């Protein structure tokens, strides 16, 4: 099965201590849940790619789980509040568990939007393996790519839109 990700939690493999807050958003054009996680201390910095650090002391993560959509946004900021990347999980579903904690069921396919506008797609091999092993259906496989394409066409995976959306979301935590 896909990985279930709960808002307001951290990857304990990298993050030693953190604080987080989860809010419900019911504005006219934005509905869903958001969390703001502030990294206090890491076991070790989490490095990816060409030396890009995603988690270190003082970093923060803004997550948005929109209602009735099949994607979740993770915006990662450094200790100065500068964006490192906007990361999108394509999801089977976004929901709330029996304890009231929002979560998404990650459907393997991911994309990252960099501050310079570059878009990277990840884990296509995991999506294909999930299809081949029967963990997901052909419809779910196709949906993952349809959702990714829609995010691009609707300019959701877009630097200007992400800056605007994330600024609005961050203000809700003040």
How far apart, in whole angstroms, are the C-alpha atoms of residue 56 and residue 101? 25
How far apart, in whole angstroms, are the C-alpha atoms of residue 91 and residue 109? 8
How far apart, in whole angstroms, are the C-alpha atoms of residue 71 and residue 169? 16
Burial class (CB in 10 A: 0-12, 13-18, 19+), 80: exposed
pLDDT of residue 161: 96
How far apart, in whole angstroms, are the C-alpha atoms of residue 163 and residue 144? 24
- Tell if the pTM clears 0.85, that is, is over it: yes
pLDDT of residue 82: 97
pLDDT of residue 2: 63
Domain with 33, as residue range(s), is: 4-171
Burial class (CB in 10 A: 0-12, 13-18, 19+), 29: exposed
Give pLDDT tens digits along the chain (174 positions).
468 999 999 988 999 999 999 999 999 999 999 999 999 999 999 999 888 999 999 999 999 999 999 999 999 999 999 999 999 999 999 999 999 999 999 999 999 999 999 999 999 999 999 999 999 999 999 999 999 999 999 999 999 999 999 999 999 998
Total count of domains within the chain: 1
CATH of the domain at 38: 2.40.380
Are 20 and 35 a contacting pair, CB within 8 Å?
A: yes
pLDDT of residue 50: 80
List of residues 6+ apart from 169 with CB closer than 8 A: 25, 30, 34, 62, 64
């Amino acid at each position: 099965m896909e990985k279930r990700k709960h808002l307001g939690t951290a990857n304990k493999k990298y993050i030693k201590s953190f604080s987080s807050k989860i809010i419900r958003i019911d504005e006219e054009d934005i509905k869903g849940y958001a969390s703001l996680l502030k990294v206090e201390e890491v076991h070790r910095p989490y490095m990816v790619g060409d030396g890009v650090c995603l988690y270190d002391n003082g970093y923060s993560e803004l997550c948005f789980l929109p209602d009735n959509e099949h994607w979740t946004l993770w915006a990662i900021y450094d200790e100065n509040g500068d964006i490192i990347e906007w990361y999108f999980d394509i999801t089977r579903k976004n929901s709330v568990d029996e304890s009231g904690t929002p979560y998404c069921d990650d459907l393997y396919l991911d994309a990252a939007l960099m501050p310079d506008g570059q878009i990277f797609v990840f884990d296509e091999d995991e999506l294909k393996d999930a299809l081949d092993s029967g963990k997901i259906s052909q419809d779910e496989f196709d949906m993952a790519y349809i959702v990714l394409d829609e995010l691009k066409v609707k300019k959701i995976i877009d630097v200007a839109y992400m800056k605007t959306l994330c600024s609005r979301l961050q203000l809700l935590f003040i």
